[in-house]
Amino acid sequence: MVILEEGEQQWLIGLTPQAEQIFKVKPPENWSFYYLSKHTNINTAVVCISELERFDWFFGIDPKDGALAPLNRAY
């Protein structure tokens, strides 16, 4: 997975080992991608920065389609 910035737009892109694109998703509304991480409840996660809240947040990533699910605050 990679985080790509194109101008003002960010994308989280999932790739196969052969570099074929599996998914391409935008960050949740009012959030920006910060960094990729592991999480105790899910293998693959991304930490996002909020435009409205004061804490960073873990989002789980579904490796099949890139769906993002909020998990908990990132410390």
pLDDT digits (tens, 9 = 90+) for 36-74: 998 888 889 999 999 887 899 999 999 999 999 999 999
Distance CA 17, CA 7 (A): 27
Q: How confident is the model at residue 75 (pLDDT cuts 50, 70, 90)?
A: confident
Find out whether 38 and 59 touch, Cβ atoms under 8 Å: no
pLDDT for res 65: 96
Record the pTM. 0.88
CB atoms under 10 Å from CB of 27, counted, come to 20
